[in-house]
Amino acid sequence: MSTSSDTLSFTGPFPHIRLRRNRRHDWSRRLVAENSLSANDLIWPVFIIEGENQIEPVPSMPGVFRYSIDRLVEACREAHDLGIPAVALFPRTPEHLKDLEGSESANPDNLICRATRALKAALPNLGVICDVALDPYTTSGHDGILRDGYVVNDETVEALCKQALVQAQAGSDVVAPSDMMDGRIRAVRECLDAHGFIDTQVCSYAAKYASGFYGPFRDAVGTGGTLQGGDKKTYQMDPANTDEALREVAIDLEEGADMVIIKPGMPYLDIIQRISSTFKVPTWAYQVSGEYAMIMAAVNNGWLSPEKVILESLLCFKRAGAGAILTYFAVDAAKRLQQLK
């Protein structure tokens, strides 16, 4: 056998570097995966309604329902048993309780407060996140108080503080201002602290865009047909802007936010990535109703496979830097993740 230097030279096939080697086997793919998804990453947004033993389908969101409080507890028990850490509650307020100021939001016995008390009594270890905004309670459908065609900021902030306080008193673990009023995080934080709720977390919808992807959500909470003026562009962010999102987040963190939410999700992965990498704080993504509806429409038409796209659509948020994901797929995704174990 020859031992000349010629036999030691490379004569093998091109190329030297083959990235597919690490992809060939399942065990290898799992070892080199850069991101992972688990039930611990999921928050389940749930719609609630008045009544007893009521489950109503949301037509524009196939597979999503509105629950009366008794059925809500049952549904959330399943989510809790699947390992989902928290749920986010959104009420459909009866029309006769709505007014221009959204005063029902400050009622300690309103629908969301009663639902919170019921959940904390039945499932004390399940996190409960309550939305802080006036749109489920106003006749205008806006997140704040409408005066002469304009949502006024400071008067709305006062109302939001009252809303957050009754939610904290009901047992909410996290109050989540989603209104995009200026200064509301500091005001809510100071209000909670002044009343002894120093451990109640404040999660800010810090970069919430004036998006067209919210339509099914507004149907679900009963505000879709009432929105005066047609849009929320005077307080929600312009989809064209990215640097502004960093300013919004920086201000809300300085004012006391414990975590921030970027909304919508998939169309704004660049925003999630910028916020997460810039601030290194808990950054959550909201896969909103329009995103869910698009995926389900394609699934129900046989154009996409739910086995493939649901978890993939969630993993992209982790890849972008999100620490948690609000998604209507939460229960379904948690079941699929269990099957993969």
Catalytic residue among 98, 232, 263, 318: 263
Give the separation between CA 279 and CA 258, rounded to whole angstroms. Answer: 12
With DSSP H G I counted as helix, E B as strand and the rest as coil, what are the percentages for the chain, rounded to 5? 45, 20, 35
* C-alpha dihedral sign at 70, 166, 249, 147: positive
Catalytic residue among 208, 232, 308, 318: 208
Structure tokens belonging to residue 207: 């970069």
End-to-end CA separation in angstroms for the chain: 51
Give the separation between CA 67 and CA 190, rounded to whole angstroms. Answer: 33
DSSP 213: G
Name the E strands within the chain: 42-48, 55-57, 65-67, 86-91, 127-132, 145-147, 150-152, 174-177, 201-208, 259-263, 283-287, 324-327
Pairing type for strands 283-287 and 259-263 reads: parallel
The response to whether 248 counts as a known ligand-binding position is yes
Return phi, psi of residue 281, to 5°. Answer: -120, 165
> Of the candidates 312, 279, 176, which has an alpha carbon nearest to the alpha carbon of residue 271?
279
Whats the size of the chain, residue-wise? 341
Q: Can 263 be counted among the known catalytic residues? A: yes
Give the separation between CA 27 and CA 199, rounded to whole angstroms. Answer: 42
Give the separation between CA 85 and CA 41, rounded to whole angstroms. Answer: 8
Residue stretches of the annotated binding site: 248
The catalytic residue positions are: 208, 263
Residue stretches of the annotated binding site for Mg(2+): 248
